[in-house]
Amino acid sequence: MPVPDDAYAAIAAPESLTTPVGTFDFVDGVPTADSLDRLYDAADLITAVQVYLATMPGVSLAAMREGVRSVGVTDAQHVGITVPRANSASLYLTANTDTTYAHTFLDLASNGPTVIEAPPNSLCVVDDFWFRYITDMGVTGPDGGAGGKYLFLPPDFEGADPPGYHVFRSPTYTIWAVFRALDGVEGIKRVAVYPLAAEDPPETVFIDIADSPHSTVHPNDASFYDEIDAIVQEEPIDSLDPERRGLLAAIGIVKGHPFEPDERMRRILANAAPLAAGIARAIAFRPRDPEAYYYPGSSWKRIFVGGSHEFLRDGARLLEARTLFHFLATVVTPAMTSATPGVGSQYAYTAEDGAGAWLDGGRSYRLRLPAGVPATDFWSVTVYDCQTRSFLRTDDPYPSVSSLSGDVQANEDGSIDVHFSPTAPNAPTTNWIQTVPGKGWFVVLRLYGPLASWFDGAWRPGEIEAE
């Protein structure tokens, strides 16, 4: 009995196949010579886009390291600090203007096992060089806020854990440590970082980087792939899973081998990076996962989608959730996904007004926060540039309104209006964030010590409305 025509049609190659990446011709199922080459170009383009999206977390941290190295944070005993707080002089993915940041990179390959002394009453996080969580230190860490000594062991460390420390084995030689002390700059300066083997531990040097312009944002051109190769060459081969190693190998990035793409591959990579970045922008600014949105019909979105700092749901990796987070933000910790009232922090963001239009730097808008903003510590509203995902650069180096300022004006009913416009509105300027004509922007609402009314939806922010 012959194969039915519909079954044959389902498996046969057409004579001509038109796709979003080109038109390809076949002769009785075999690609023509011209189509064969272009099909491989398409395959490499698709793989290079996948590589960008899958390895962006690592390249983000590589850009962070390069940025702070440029302003003097060149070894683990150098801790960059923003005094009194971060400002728009530099490019950092959605940093906040409300607290003092400090951070450094440990080099376990050069220094071996390394100690961090976390100060009391602090909030500190350590991530590996592929931006995966290792541990919290401080209030949400094993020391519970009492302060403690943490020891980080390199991937090739052999033997038992040395006693007297909270010990963690890192999958990568380079790890990132970020520090925040609830009692400010002096609290952060109680951090100490030194090699375990040092008989006389060197003094930790704090370098104020707040007003030293530098960029920590990764590239979106073909140099992105050179950054990936640098990470692959310096880190253990097992620090990435075989699937991602396979993607990298398919475009010529293999540990122990030079990355020397030919002219054809360079051309493909030059096209792939902006395409992948465009996809990341779509995912970040208007995600298609319904769970990304806090409320039906609202534009307010979650930065962590799925409730997992590992971007997992039912055992599956949420690839678009991972892309969303790492394109907009830094610092991976379970504390950011905690739904425990009064603990940690919560974030909501949007680049859209209440009608779903992109926010326009030349227009005037209002955001109403109903009375009783559910934050035991403080709340803030901060504006960012859609291009850089860093602070919007205006006449004010701190483009935010925060309850910490003490001069935010409330309405008679206790609600608070935050205004956005290029020129000062006919309203309290303490409630105003300047925008820039011709530039798109987005906003992040932060709640520190969020209350139950945030988690159960009893309190919710208004939409950003054009005035």
**Residue 362 CB coordination number (10 Å):** 11
| pLDDT of res. 1 | 59
Q: 319 near 325, Cβ under 8 Å?
A: no
C-alpha angle 387/390/392, rounded to 5°?
80
Say what the pLDDT of residue 302 is: 96
Q: What is the DSSP string of 125-136?
A: EEEETTS-EEEE
Q: CA torsion angle for 43, 48, 50, 52 (degrees, to 10)?
A: -170
Cα angle 373, 379, 382; round to 5: 125
Closest CA to 114 of 162, 146, 64, 80: 162
CA distance linking residue 63 with residue 55, whole number of Å:
13
Give the chain's end-to-end CA distance (angstroms, integer): 72
The mean pLDDT value of the chain amounts to 95
Q: Enumerate residue ranges in the chain where pLDDT < 70.
A: 1, 3, 5
DSSP 193-258: EEETT-SSPPPPEEEE-TTS--B-PPP-STHHHHHHHHHHHHS-GGGS-HHHHHHHHHTT--TTS-
Q: Supply the pLDDT for residue 427.
A: 80
What backbone phi and psi angles, to 5 degrees, belong to 346?
-130, 150
- As given in the structure block, the two tokens for residue 128 are 């590996």
Q: What is the Cα–Cα distance from 154 to 129, expressed in whole angstroms?
A: 12
Q: Round to whole Å and give the CA distance between 335 and 340.
A: 9
Query: Tokens in use for 52?
Result: 């960008």
CA–CA gap between residue 338 and residue 340 (Å, rounded): 6
pLDDT recorded at residue 3? 66
Structural contact between residues 180 and 122, judged by C-beta atoms closer than 8 angstroms: yes
pLDDT of residue 266: 98
pTM of the model as a whole: 0.95
Q: Return the DSSP state at 360.
A: B
